[in-house]
Amino acid sequence: MDGKAYVASLDDGRSVYARGEKVSDLAAHPDFAPNIERTRHTYDRFEADPAAREAFFTPPTTVEGMREHASLHVDSATHTTYSSLMTLLTAADRIAEVRPSASEAVQAYVREVRAKDWRIAECITDAKGDRSKPPSQQDDKDAYLRVVERRPDGVVIRGAKLHISLAASSHELMVIPTKAMKPGEEDYAIACAVPVNAPGVSIVNVLNGAPPEGSDPRDFPFANQRAVPQGFVIFDDVFVPQERIFLDGEVKQAATFAHSLGLWVRTSSMISMCDGFDVMVGLAQLIAEANGLERVEHIKTKISEMVIHATLLRASLEASMMHAAKLESGVLAPSEIYTNAGKYHGAANYMLMVRHLLDIAGGSAITAPSMRDIENEDIGHLVRKYMGTKQSIDGAYRTRLFHAVHDLTTSAQGGSKYAGLLLSGGGLYAQNIVTRMRYDMDRAKQMAFDAMGWSPDDPGAIRP
């Protein structure tokens, strides 16, 4: 598809709600239009350069290929589609012995998605009901998405998936279990693909981090580019044909899809954070120079610390690629330990980067007049004068920098971005668990014994 065809493809009878009303024209609605436009641009870019599209959607088989892919910049819907396809390929590879048909179904689905140039939204988090109870013990059995009917030609599913980025402007919903399941919870061990416009699918949207209506884009440069609609996706007795089912009742493999998704989502998040940390460093240096403080020692120290965090995060990304694991298909998957450790490091230290940036910028990061005030015929020239510093720093330039700092850190977009980085891929605890699981603790303990110059097998040694 080109961009025009993509926009037209969204007018397919899908059931989408926003601000309490049903949306009749998705592309014209203010909550969806900016993201649809960004996706449209990627479609046109790939239409003009089919080799770029092929390069983006071809799973990497070399480390250099992984590096090249990490350097490609596309819209969120396209990036999410790639991580969805890689999740399915990775999970199918891992459960091949238990469900051989999964590999065939996944391969066929991946071919279909690529041939029809669809975009996919990832549906994992359930409503969950009473968090203290597992799926099978919920008062409302639909608190976790489940199979309510099995037919020779497919299954019927019911439930809801929350926090689904770009669900309304995608074509397909990749539905997977949110967690491990136990015997007796076979109905909840379901992974499948569902069209967004399938009968019984409804999407209720929230747009977090959007700039205030009618605001000047110059006052909210990041929000205007990055606010992403989040869908509350309801599956009200939705039929799924057999060829679109990737897991059905195999409880021991239910967590495989979530773990696979976690790997690719955390990798994607780490790539985004690497670029984001570099943006924060650059913005800190720019605002320090605009304030005339770039040579002050404590300012230099803060920027240096930001540089160290940005460098360590990018080093984790590089290590995740250098230590990639090869799947049976020949595709390279990023190292789980470096991916999870890197994602943890970036998310855990994000607010320290924000603290330094705000400390360097100063109070005008939250009280700078708007750009329209600067352009006001009566008072604008005075606002511009007093927002300036030395002769080489214009007041309008410095004001725009302050708005960028505000939007990145303390606006609705700043808060939404932080929450997204913190919670995407399962949150800090999930990365903590996987990192510890993948760490070679036996090797570390042996190194400790060697460093002490003794062995637990020595006579008289006491072992736990």
Q: What percent of the chain has pLDDT over 90?
A: 65
Structure confidence at residue 98 (pLDDT):
84
CB-count burial class (<10 Å; 0-12, 13-18, 19+) for 275: middle
Domain 256-445 has CATH 1.10.10.10: no
- What is the DSSP pairing of strand 201-208 with strand 228-241? antiparallel
Rounded to whole angstroms, the Cα distance separating 158 from 143 reads 9
User: Which tens digits make up the pLDDT trace of 177-230?
Assistant: 998 899 999 999 999 999 999 999 999 998 877 778 778 888 888 877 777 889
Nearest to 348 by CA among 232, 233, 432: 432
Give the 3-state secondary structure of residue 62.
coil
Structure confidence at residue 143 (pLDDT):
96
Q: Within the chain, which residue ranges are assigned CATH 2.40.110.10?
A: 3-248
Rounded to whole angstroms, the Cα distance separating 186 from 250 reads 7
User: Which tens digits make up the pLDDT trace of 356-398?
Assistant: 999 999 999 999 999 999 999 999 999 999 999 988 899 999 9
Q: Within the chain, which residue ranges are assigned CATH 1.20.140.10?
A: 256-445
Tell me: pLDDT of 460 over 70: no
CATH placement of domain 3-248: 2.40.110.10
User: Which tens digits make up the pLDDT trace of 291-348?
Assistant: 999 999 999 999 999 999 999 999 999 999 999 988 777 788 899 999 999 999 999 9
Tell me: pLDDT of 464 over 60: no
Rounded to whole angstroms, the Cα distance separating 363 from 171 reads 44
Tell me: pLDDT of 350 over 60: yes
Helix 412-423 to helix 336-361 angle, to the nearest 10 degrees?
160
Contact 448, 442 (CB under 8 A): no
The pTM of the full predicted model, rounded to 2 decimals, is 0.83
b (16+ CB within 10 A) / e for 40-60 = bebbebbbeeeeebeebbebb
- Work out the pLDDT band at 404, boundaries 50, 70, 90: very high
* 409-425 average pLDDT score: 84
Q: Kindly state the helix (H) or strand (E) to which residue 374 belongs, with its residue range.
A: helix 371-374
Residue 147 φ then ψ, to 5°? -85, 125
Structure confidence at residue 160 (pLDDT):
97
Helix 254-291 to helix 76-94 angle, to the nearest 10 degrees?
150
Rounded to whole angstroms, the Cα distance separating 131 from 372 reads 48
Structure confidence at residue 351 (pLDDT):
93
